[in-house]
C-alpha cells in the first residue's frame, strides 16, 4: 500500500493539566512548564501548557460545579454565555474559544490532557477515534519508545460511552491517564512516567514536522465495551466491593465465572458475561458517583496508514 496520508504540520500543541483539580501529576507538570517551558520546547512547535480548571485546582477537588471533562458538549459550547452557567460550562466555553473552536480549521492541532486515576492502569493513552491515523502513528511511536514498559491504548469510541472531553476541542486529542495514584497525592514514580511519555510524544511531533514519513503500522488497542456498576440495594447503596482477585488487574482478562465483587459480609459475586473481556478503570474513586465499578473492553488491532507532513 503506497498511500500516504498527509497532515499539516502540528504547529499548535497544548498540554492541559488540572482538568480534574485533584489529579496532581498534570497540575504539577503544567505549573512547572508554565514557569519554565524549556523541557517542552520543540523546534517549530508552539507548546502551550495550560491549567484548565484553576478553581478546582485551588480547592484540590475534581470539580466545582460539574465535571469539566464531560462539559464540552455541543449544547454547552453553543449555549449563550453568562455568569449563571455552572463554572465548568463557562470554562469550557473559554477553552473552546482559546484552543478551538471545536471542529473548525482554527482549532489547535494537538491537545494532551493529563490525568491520574486511582486504578492500576499504568501509563494509558486514550484515543477517541479509530480513524485518527496521526494519533495512531504517535501512539505506535510512544509504545515503541517506552518498551519494554507498556503503554496500553484505550479507545473510547462508542455510541453511548464516549464523552465530551476538554481535549476534544483539538483536531488530534490525546488523553494520558496514569495510575495508580490517590487523588490529591503526588507520587514521584507516577509523575516521572507521565513526564517521559510526554517527552516521546513531543519528539514524535518534532520528527513529523521535520518531514519524516512514518510507514504503515498496527496498534493494539482496547475498545471500550460496557460500564459495570457496583451491586446496590433498593436504596441505591453499594453492597459489595471490587473483588480482591479483580482489584488492580486492569487490562488482564476477566473470564465468565471469575470473581468480580465481594459483599461486605464476604460473598463472592462472579462475572456472568458471554466471553472474555479486559476490564479497566477498576475502582476509580471518581466513578462511584457515575455508577461505575469498572469498564469492560475488547481487544482490537487498528491499522494506520503511512503519514507525513503536507
Among 69, 118, 156, 193, binds another protein (CB under 8 A): 118
From 76-84, 92-100, 157-165, 179-187, span contacting another protein (CB under 8 A)? 179-187
183 binds another protein (CB under 8 A): yes
Helices (H) and strands (E) in the chain, counts: 6, 14
User: For the chain, what is the radius of gyration of the CA atoms?
Assistant: 20
C-alpha cell at 249: 488487574
Cell of 113: 490532557
Closest to another protein by CB, 145 vs 238, is 238
Pick one of 180, 194, 219, 254: the residue that binds another protein (CB under 8 A).
180
- Residue 23 labeled ligand binder: yes
Strands 153-155 vs 110-116: parallel, antiparallel or unpaired: unpaired
Quick one: which segment of 5-13, 71-79, 129-137, 237-245 binds another protein (CB under 8 A)? 237-245
Task: Answer yes or no whether residue 194 interacts with another protein by CB under 8 A.
Answer: no
What string of DSSP letters covers 157-182? --TTT----GGGGSSEEEEEEEES--
CA distance 136 to 142: 10
Among 4, 32, 79, 146, which residue sits at the site for another protein (rule: CB under 8 A)? 32
Q: Is 76 a binder of another protein (CB under 8 A)?
A: no
Query: What's the sign of the alpha-carbon dihedral 309, 41, 23, 299?
Result: positive
3-state secondary structure (DSSP) of residue 116: strand
What is the torsional sign of CA 286, 289, 290, 293? Answer: positive
**Residue 186 binds to another protein (criterion: CB under 8 A):** yes
- Name which position in 1, 35, 234, 310 contacts another protein (CB under 8 A): 35
Is 177 considered catalytic here?
yes
Which residues contact another protein by CB under 8 A? 28, 31-32, 35, 60, 118, 180-189, 191, 237-238, 241-244, 247, 262, 264-265, 283, 285-286, 288
Q: Which positions are catalytic? A: 177
Amino acid at each position: 500500500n503506497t498511500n500516504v496520508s498527509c497532515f499539516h504540520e502540528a504547529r499548535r500543541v497544548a498540554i492541559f493539566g488540572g482538568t480534574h483539580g485533584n489529579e496532581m501529576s498534570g497540575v504539577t507538570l503544567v505549573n512547572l512548564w508554565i514557569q519554565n517551558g524549556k523541557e517542552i520546547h520543540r523546534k517549530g512547535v508552539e507548546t502551550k501548557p495550560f491549567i484548565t480548571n484553576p478553581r478546582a485546582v485551588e480547592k484540590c477537588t475534581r470539580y466545582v460545579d460539574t465535571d469539566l471533562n464531560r462539559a464540552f458538549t455541543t449544547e454547552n459550547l453553543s449555549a449563550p454565555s453568562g455568569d449563571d452557567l455552572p463554572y465548568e460550562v463557562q470554562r469550557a466555553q473559554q477553552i473552546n474559544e482559546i484552543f478551538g473552536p471545536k471542529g473548525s480549521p482554527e482549532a489547535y492541532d494537538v491537545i494532551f490532557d493529563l490525568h491520574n486515576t486511582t486504578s492500576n492502569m499504568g501509563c494509558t493513552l486514550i484515543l477517541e477515534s479509530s480513524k485518527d491515523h496521526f494519533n495512531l502513528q504517535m501512539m505506535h511511536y510512544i509504545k515503541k519508545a517506552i518498551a519494554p514498559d507498556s503503554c496500553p491504548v484505550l479507545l473510547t469510541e462508542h455510541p453511548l460511552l464516549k464523552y465530551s472531553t476538554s481535549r476534544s476541542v483539538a483536531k488530534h486529542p490525546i488523553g494520558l491517564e496514569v495510575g495508580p495514584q490517590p487523588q490529591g497525592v503526588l507520587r514521584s514514580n507516577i509523575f516521572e512516567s507521565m513526564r517521559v511519555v510526554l517527552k516521546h510524544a513531543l519528539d514524535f511531533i518534532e520528527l513529523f514536522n521535520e518531514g519524516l514519513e512514518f510507514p504503515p503500522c498496527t496498534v493494539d488497542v482496547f475498545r471500550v465495551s460496557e460500564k459495570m456498576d457496583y451491586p446496590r440495594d433498593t436504596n441505591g447503596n453499594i453492597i459489595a466491593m471490587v473483588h480482591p482477585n479483580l482489584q488492580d488487574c486492569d487490562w488482564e482478562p476477566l473470564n465468565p465465572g471469575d470473581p468480580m465483587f465481594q459483599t461486605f459480609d464476604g460473598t463472592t459475586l462472579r462475572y456472568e458475561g458471554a466471553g472474555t473481556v479486559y476490564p479497566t478503570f477498576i475502582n476509580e474513586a471518581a466513578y462511584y458517583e457515575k455508577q461505575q465499578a469498572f469498564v469492560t473492553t475488547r481487544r482490537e488491532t487498528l491499522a494506520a496508514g503511512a503519514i507525513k507532513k503536507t
